[in-house]
Structure 1
Amino acid sequence: MRRDDPLSTYHAKRDFRQSPEPAGAAHRRPRADTPLQFVIQRHDARRLHYDFRLEWGGALKSWAVPKGPSLDPDIQRLAVEVEDHPLDYASFEGTIPKGHYGAGDVAVWDRGEWVPEDDVDEALRRGKLHFELRGSRLHGSWVLFRTGGDRSQWMLKKRRDRHARAGDGDAVLHEPLPHKAAAPVKKRGRKKASEQPLPELVEPQLAMLVDRPPASDLWAYEIKYDGYRMLTRFDGRRARIFSRNGLEWTERLPRLAQQLTRLKLGPGWLDGEIVVMDEQGHTDFHALQAMLDNGAADVEYIVFDVPWWQGQDLRDQPLTERLAVLDAIFATLPADAALSRSKPLDPRHVGQAVLDAACRLGLEGLIGKRLDAPYRAGRSPHWIKLKCRAEQEVVIAGYTEPRGSRGHLGALLVGVWGDDGQLDYAGRVGSGLDTAGLEAMRKRLQPDETGTCPFRRKPALPGASKVHWVQPRHVAQVRFATWSRDGLLRQASFVGLREDKPAREVVREQARPIKENRAMQTPNTAPRTGTPAAQRGKDAVMGVRITSPERIVFSVPRVTKLDVVRYHEAIAEHLLPQLLKRPLSLLRCPQGTGGECFFQKHIETALPPGVESVEVPASDGTDQQVMVTRPEGIVALAQYGNVELHTWGARAPKPDKVDRITMDLDPDSDLPWTQVVEAAQLTRVLLEELGLATFLKTTGGKGLHVVVPLKATRGWDEVKAFAKAVATRMATIAPQRFTARLSKSQRDGRIFIDYLRNGRGATAISAYSLRAREGAPVSMPLHWDELSTRKDLRGACFNIRNALAHAKDAAAAWADYDAQRKTLSVKMMKALGVEI
């Protein structure tokens, strides 16, 4: 490469008469105050990879990243430095023809600005470059560093900041854009995020095959259905159905699409599976394929998740919250609706027992899902797959001629893709197809015949049968006994074709060992062997024996488990009225807040004194949740490892009638306290002008709650619609200050008015409850007169050390709460445009 032309290597490798790539030329270095652009292009060449390019020196410095970027700071990706590219390449999308350098499809995956944190020339010479990305997908601080003696070998790694996502592997590669893709960088200014509409496409979360179930109670299990994964987009007018790889199947499933359209749901996305059931109630993949080949008249759609609903992106919410939204959706459906709900299995089955029970029932297997985990596109350790029988997806790359009385074809020759992008032979599949199936398979494969063997190495096949090689584009699902040492399937039997899965994604599925840490285990509260009885009984509070009293629950300040229990004992007279008769969600931190915390609505062991089970409405009838009845119940929950108490907005014996609205003012983390105060005051004015009373409390976090006491006359859907209308009105009045959209990427310096706390099954932090955050903060009731711009009341302003001292004033501020209950009238609702 000539020193005066950084693009000479780029030009030498390409024939621009045949390739659509821009020829371009090097430009002068921009002014120091001019933002620099970056682009990442998804390049499906001989092997799929991602091209990472940074503008510098009038060209694009470029690296090929085989596995793509990861947001996990513990994962570093190989990045091979390649030739500089022209700046025009930043907007290039198209197909480089076969036989040319880089042949394959190129598409822009992310682009935006990059900000160097070093002297770039010196950093590139030294081999370590720190920088910030401001793109549509990637944000925050990153590092590129050279490895070993080969100067082209670098590593790309996310640095730890608020944009990092530990444990998510390559999930970001499969996620849709958080908003429409950024336009090319022309004006050289920072782009502002646009308001997010209903996504055109949602990429599904996929399960990871593991060798055994986790021993933790943090998981919910569902039946593993043998069908086609489908996501449905509802826009309020029609339903459109998409396969897991983004292909639209609406016309392929006309009857189902019509039935779903008639439900008039949305706007939103539902995630599920289309299946056909046999007489025993098990899914029948053969029958599903036959049904699809004959118009798909009677397929069943089973729904198990809701990634997006009614203007809210729910993918960042834990599974428990998404399931509550799903419950609310199904509660409104008619009995003959064309979709059904996947029901979690009995939660009393934990660990290996749950899989053993499923296999005894003749099921294909189970899908396990972490109750506290978000919805992430791509494979994630938060969804796991457990199989009762060994199955594998394979790519059909050829077939043999039949022998004897067998007709149409002999055996399918199948393979899986290796790590280097080549197809490895995985064996023959000869059984599982009847005569009609053999005939249909040959007709399907004949148009794709080729004279070249697609496998890395041509397999040695017994006998003299003629082999027909085919393009490796068809995916089959097979059942088999085991893998041989040579990597071949033994006793493989054909199950069906997978038209919903791209052939390029088929690799050998190997069960990974489940990774668990102590924080994931259900705590054993039994006394340790050999502990003297006198020692076991000395730490008792309200008659509740406290185990591990010296365990650290908060490290800043240092708070032990016994301190937490004592706080609940002292605050019980104020806390109990907030909890009485209300179903609860518990945030448990068995190993302290520095360990893993998770939400729980049930206690699977015998309920302690002062805690009862309450029946609440659910989509499939009723469910049981925890409810506190006496002060010792609060202490017992603290002994159980509970830190936070979250309450329903309704009470027994009428849990289907709402008696409280909670408007959660959740500001962008950079907003000053003054704007939070103003938001609370404006919310108060709007609600009181409608004729409702308002009460105020801190959340123990960065926001405030405005709480409205109601007479329990209306159901969840009506109250949620009203709360949403309040949030929408606020966002309409001052769109530069407020948003009613859940996604954090949409807040952009605004306050999110969270009305979702008012849906069926949703909860809000209770007044006087601790929060599992640094400083051991407490959610504290306030009088409106205490709200002032001069004193920031967020975070740990009220905490475990001073909450009791403030409790008397807090109780006085809410003294007439019950007396101020109002009926949510038709007039109030119509004033905000809510249809009754």
Structure 2
Amino acid sequence: MRRDDPLAPYHARRDFRHSPEPAGRTAGRRRPARTLQFVVQRHDARRLHYDFRLEWDGTLKSWAVPKGPSLDPQVQRLAVEVEDHPLDYARFEGTIPQGHYGAGDVAIWDRGTWVPEDEDVAAALQRGKLHFELHGERLHGSWVLFRTSGSQWMLRKRRDAHARPGDGDGVLRASAPTASARRPPRAGHGDPLPEWIAPQLATLVERPPQDARWVYEVKYDGYRMLARLDGREVRLYSRNGLDWTARLPRLAQRLSRLRLGPGWLDGEIVVMDTHGRTDFHALQAQLDGPATDVEYVVFDVPWWQGQDLRDAPLSRRLAVLDGIFDALPADAALGRSRPLDPHHVGQAVLDAACRMQLEGLIGKRLDAPYRSGRSPHWIKLKCRAEQEVVIGGYTEPRGSRGHLGALLVGVWGEDGQLDYAGRVGSGFDAATLAALHARLAPDERATCPFRHRPALPGASRVHWVQPHHVAQVRYATWSRDGLLRQASYAGLREDKPAREVVRERARPVQETATMPTAATPARSSHRPRAPRDDDTVMGVRVTHPGRVVYGTPRVTKLEVVRYHEAMAEYLMPHLRKRPLSLLRCPQGAGGECFFQKHIETRLPPGVVGVEVPASDGPDTQVMVSRPEGIVALAQYGTLELHTWGARTPRLEKADRLTMDLDPDPALPWSQVVEAARLTRVLLEELGLRPFLKTTGGKGLHVVVPLKATRGWDEVKAFARAVATRLASVAPQRFTAQLSKSRRRGRIFVDYLRNGRGATAIAAYSLRARDGAPVAMPLHWDALSPHEDLRGARFNLHNAAAHVADAEAAWADYDASRATLTVKMMKALGVTP
């Protein structure tokens, strides 16, 4: 191949006299990064596969993905690098004749724009690891391509708001077309009803387009809800896939009586006031009770009676919806959101809506398909400014007001920290204040969750809370320093995760043609950086930086060191003043590994020795004193950092209790969840506050911070008593016996980590196992039987993205230290 013709291999394989593929005689010019396009083409050749193409340097860099992309971050797809394609191939659909290279049907499965996350894309491609964001119709968010060998790469979705853990082939099962995405659905029935359809979302814009292809509907003030209907079987799901059927029993019953489907309806649950307008406050009140007055207003039908309608234009879907409602009885439990009279176009339609005192409008293109995720073909137009915010605290009430004064709210910044956005002091009635206080009080914490502690007027006391709750507020404007002016409370948003709340900015309408999605969620600025050419990190020279440390996925030594550099500030509080036991793997995780407590050679910077009393004299062990010491240990081949349960200078007094829940590998995750919750209940009944941590293995750690008042023998005896009590309460679930035979089918409650000299894996430490897993602090409410958090669920590549949540989960750890009292010990039969 000539250096000046990157398309030479493409031309050599094709006969353009007979193949309809574009010739693309020369490579195009490189366009500005903001307009880089990507395309995924479904190629039904000798074997069905998906061709993934990214525009770069005048051509389409191309990979064949046999199984297609997955939205599950745990699923890696083989991607075989193939020859560069011309830019106009991004528009190609058709049939390549038999006997020609790639013979078969080619259809566009997804298209949009992409944004590199690496500063130097050429270097990243050469190095074999490219991070990027996709803004497509089906694929969104952050992805990574990394080379394993030769032309073989892996394509993986990175964990963000667009990921769907556990949904391996969901995006393919739910939306793979049999032909062009622009063709109408095929006639006939028989396709299985999808288990889940992610909803299409609207993009906020400054003004409506001057285009007659758009129709407009009333913007309802409610909760988005999708209904899966299969005769009498009805399930109701929120926008992020949570099953709300049990919260809306009356609505589910009314829908069940209609015996509709099989199909999916998309709409909004609302409560109407006496004037026929939606009342968000009233909806909140209903959801706190039996929800008898909740109505379901339907505006789309993505799937109906064996037909996947997502590839059909909106005009076709509205016609299907007309047929559904025409067949319903007059007293049916469904409302219909119909497009407004198309008398007004452009700005005039919004002006008319605002004069009617509506919340705003949703605009939709009649010729566009239904696409999960944020779409340029659905737009939001607001008559009054609204913003979702995260509640980070509240002030004490004054005067006659009860329960709380003002909410202190924020939004997540681009670096993953919570930025203060002001006070919300109006919009409450007495019942709302009481309900809010009841929700927030259990989540009170000792420290401020905002990036900077806000300067508040007056001397009123502030109650900080975990940033879990999302409120919707109305406001006049944003100030120059990023604060909401005249903010008024509208209600809680239980249908949106707090981590997704960023400042919403309206886009110029012309951007919706080229930017298919809204801004991606905030990501931590502390994520591990891609390896650079240099081999010095924090002043530590890294030898053999390209050595492969993890084979699955492929991770080099320099990447391991960079991980420790990025996570050092979070690791240090867990390592400081504690003797360490190091698991060193000089030849990588797959080679020989060994534990080490001492370094016989000269200690590197940031690593010190600590004298530990022993029967045969002082024993000098390793301890980290500064962040560069963590990097130095990684350079020495250290992968795992295990810490003592005590700190200098009081090494004879334990300052934590660690209950290691070690399950039989055959046990399901749901039983591990149940075991952790039971352990928590027992410890809380004793008057202790437990914290939760994954281990990067098959179990969980339940950790209790203690005041350093008891010796090792007493703490170990107490831990053994906890394990024994659990085993006696639920013998079918737990065992405190070391015997392998006794542990079969049960969870071994390992209390031995509480003895003198015993250690436990540190939070944020890597593990020397496939997947490069990381031990991760967790909120207790993150524990769900439906999402397995063990193993490599948290790993070297995604740990930094979870740091903010992990730090918030353990924010009160030190403040929660308790004395192991005589009463507690006697309650378990331990003699102090």
With the shorter chain as reference, the TM-score category is: 0.3 to 0.5
- TM-score, structure 2 normalization: 0.44
- TM-score, structure 1 normalization: 0.43
